[in-house]
Amino acid sequence: MRTIIEPFRIKSIEPIEMSSPEMRSEWLTEAGHNLFRLPAERVLIDLLTDSGTAAMSARQWGAMMAGDESYAGARSWYRFEETVRRVFGFAHVVPTHQGRAAERILFGCTVNSGDVVPSNAHFDTTRANIEYLGGHAVDLPCAEAADPTTDEPFKGNVDLAALEALLDARADDVPLIMLTITNNTGGGQPVSMANIRAVAELAHRFGKPLYIDACRFAENAWFIKQREPGYAGTSIPEIVHEMFSHADGCTMSAKKDALVNIGGFLCTRDPSLAEREKNLLILSEGFPTYGGLAGRDLEAIAAGLEEVLHEDYLRYRIVSTAYVVDHLHDAGVPVVRPAGGHAVYLDAGRFLPHIPALQYPGQSLAAALYQHAGIRGVEIGTVMAGRDPDTGAERPPQLELVRLAIPRRVYTQSHMDYVVEAIVEVFERRDRLAGYRITDEPPFLRHFTATFAPL
Ligand code: F0G
């Protein structure tokens, strides 16, 4: 059979409030043309993020009812700890309320002012937590990552020569090396096992620990199984084990590949670091056997970490993202290729070549998709890049993108057919789309709250 079906039945549904393009035009104006300012009920297909938006299984909901809410040493904690150890292979597990809390605690224990933390590409919160401590977050993506039109299998890889040069020059300033799998900032592209191994060898040659930002670890493992020679016959749990066997620890937002709505953790092999992390944890997150989570959350994460490793789930997940990318590409819509794991990235720069960067083509495209079809994505371009903190100048990035992130187990193939149809229709009338100007913006992270007016 060619058709790959959703490997689940739907038992509980959440109605979508239908709306017309005219209603959405009005709502868009009310929201200052910023999709972050829209009440979610006014959205038909919400592709703002794949974080915390998953549908949980009946098994997870059942596990939640069995949550043990004891303050210290709850049964749910032991189940969570055992599962994380079994899946990732790290001895020390520290629970947190989400990924950025894990980052803050890891860097709080390791990064000093003036330090440099290299990665394939840091996610915003990873970068912000390093910069908050006076460190520098340096992205070293491989050269293939820059070209959205080629089909290289592992565009999430680190540029090994650049990493070696940085370590040669500044090893004393590097407390650890990070690796984001899959690479969210770079289009959800995976990192190969060979690259993980090589980065670890390099790190360890210089006596540095390697930490993996593990949010989408199962999706990365699936890509290794599909694309890397030698792994077709290896099971997903074995691939995951091998990926993390090269690392010294990880940070995790459970809101992605643990299939839950809240949660996270960090892991390490280093017992003294684990102690320091737990001391920091108690200050703001909570006691080390719950870390800001309820017992029921720990149960849901433990169950989700097992479910996400099922091949039927991962095949459906990755195929449904590729389905959208391939249909758009066939219709001539400029889209980042190959398909990543968790999101479709429209290339707004090539979609709207008549709109210059400082008139925010990504913003224009995201607003048009909402107005036309009620689809909410997010601009990843000049608006999100913000201004240079020293000069206040705009700093357009290389690519103007719109990310359509796909929540896990939430939408069906007909929702995705609707998304494809809507994008193709907007593409057909792209000449009519105009740019925007900003009418009001805050000093930091302006994309969340700025207001816009069409030109
Ligand atoms: N690392 C990566 C690669 C992420 O994508 C995210 C979150 C985090 C860390 C932080 O985790 O949100 O649990 O604190 N990404 C979301 C997104 C917000 O929409 O891409 P968190």
pLDDT-based confidence at residue 444 (cuts at 50, 70, 90) = confident
Give me the amino acid identity at 202. Answer: L
Q: Which of 244-248, 375-379, 388-392 has the lowest mean pLDDT?
A: 388-392
Percent residues over pLDDT 70 in the chain: 100
Query: Within this chain, do residues 119 and 202 fall inside the same structural domain, yes or no?
Result: yes
Is residue 249 over pLDDT 90? yes
Which residue puts its alpha carbon closest to atom 11 of ligand 1? Answer: 99
Q: Residue 354's pLDDT is what?
A: 98
Is residue 389 over pLDDT 80? no
Query: Dihedral of the CA atoms 379, 382, 388, 393 (nearest 10)?
Result: -140
Q: Residue 187's pLDDT is what?
A: 83
Q: Residue 142's pLDDT is what?
A: 96
Alpha carbon of 101 to ligand 1 centroid (Å) = 11
The verdict on residue 215 lying in a domain is: yes
Choosing from 266, 288, 307, the residue where a domain stops is 307
* CA distance to 121, 144, 145, 221, 308, per residue, from 236 (Å): 24, 26, 25, 6, 10
pLDDT-based confidence at residue 300 (cuts at 50, 70, 90) = very high
Determine if ligand 1 sits within 6 Å of the CB of residue 403: no
Query: Within this chain, do residues 162 and 303 fall inside the same structural domain, yes or no?
Result: yes
Residues 73 and 288 sit within 8 Å (Cβ to Cβ): no
| Structural domain for 67, as ranges | 58-307
Q: What does the pLDDT average to over 288-302?
A: 97
The verdict on residue 410 lying in a domain is: yes
Q: What does the pLDDT average to over 155-165?
A: 98
In this predicted model, what pLDDT tens digit does every residue of 213-227 receive, in sequence order? 999 999 999 999 999
Indicate the helix (H) or strand (E) that contains 210: strand 210-213
Query: Within this chain, do residues 32 and 127 fall inside the same structural domain, yes or no?
Result: no
Query: Within this chain, do residues 148 and 258 fall inside the same structural domain, yes or no?
Result: yes
Give me the amino acid identity at 314. Answer: L
| CA 277 to the chain's CA centroid | 24
Determine if ligand 1 sits within 6 Å of the CB of residue 99: yes
Higher pLDDT, 58 or 398: 58
Determine if ligand 1 sits within 6 Å of the CB of residue 187: no
Determine if ligand 1 sits within 6 Å of the CB of residue 255: yes
Q: Residue 335's pLDDT is what?
A: 96
Q: ipTM score here?
A: 0.99
In this predicted model, what pLDDT tens digit does every residue of 33-51 receive, in sequence order? 999 999 999 999 999 999 9
Alpha carbon of 215 to ligand 1 centroid (Å) = 7
- Per-residue b or e along 172-208, where b marks 16 or more CB atoms closer than 10 Å to that residue's CB: eebbbbbbbbbbbbbbbbbbbbebbebbbebbeebeb
Determine if ligand 1 sits within 6 Å of the CB of residue 125: yes
The verdict on residue 1 lying in a domain is: no
Determine if ligand 1 sits within 6 Å of the CB of residue 185: no
Choosing from 254, 282, 307, the residue where a domain stops is 307
The verdict on residue 6 lying in a domain is: no
Which residue puts its alpha carbon closest to atom 7 of ligand 1? Answer: 51
Instruction: Specify the number of domains making up the chain.
Output: 2
pLDDT-based confidence at residue 388 (cuts at 50, 70, 90) = confident
Query: Within this chain, do residues 209 and 124 fall inside the same structural domain, yes or no?
Result: yes
Alpha carbon of 52 to ligand 1 centroid (Å) = 9
What average pLDDT does the chain have? 96
* CA distance to 38, 44, 229, 331, per residue, from 419 (Å): 19, 10, 34, 13
Whole-number CA gyration radius for the chain: 22
Query: Within this chain, do residues 271 and 329 fall inside the same structural domain, yes or no?
Result: no
Angle 183-186-190 from CA coordinates, rounded to 5°: 40
The verdict on residue 252 lying in a domain is: yes
Q: Residue 124's pLDDT is what?
A: 86
Query: What is the DSSP code (8-state) at residue 189?
Result: B
Determine if ligand 1 sits within 6 Å of the CB of residue 253: yes
In this predicted model, what pLDDT tens digit does every residue of 390-424 receive, in sequence order? 898 999 988 899 999 999 999 999 999 999 999 99
Determine if ligand 1 sits within 6 Å of the CB of residue 184: yes
The verdict on residue 4 lying in a domain is: no
Which residue puts its alpha carbon closest to atom 2 of ligand 1? Answer: 123
pLDDT-based confidence at residue 103 (cuts at 50, 70, 90) = very high
Residues 180 and 99 sit within 8 Å (Cβ to Cβ): no
The percent helix, strand, coil of the chain (3-state, each to 5) is 45, 15, 40
CA distance 182 to 188: 5
Decide: residue 13, CB within 10 A, 0-12 exposed, 13-18 middle, 19+ buried: exposed
Domain containing residue 194: CATH number: 3.40.640.10
Alpha carbon of 123 to ligand 1 centroid (Å) = 7
Query: Within this chain, do residues 348 and 442 fall inside the same structural domain, yes or no?
Result: yes
Determine if ligand 1 sits within 6 Å of the CB of residue 215: yes
Is residue 186 over pLDDT 80? no
Q: What does the pLDDT average to over 187-208?
A: 97
Is residue 96 over pLDDT 90? yes
CA distance 446 to 254: 26
The verdict on residue 15 lying in a domain is: no
Determine if ligand 1 sits within 6 Å of the CB of residue 156: no
Query: Within this chain, do residues 74 and 44 fall inside the same structural domain, yes or no?
Result: no
The verdict on residue 404 lying in a domain is: yes
Domain containing residue 321: CATH number: 3.90.1150.10
Query: Within this chain, do residues 92 and 160 fall inside the same structural domain, yes or no?
Result: yes
Query: Within this chain, do residues 157 and 283 fall inside the same structural domain, yes or no?
Result: yes
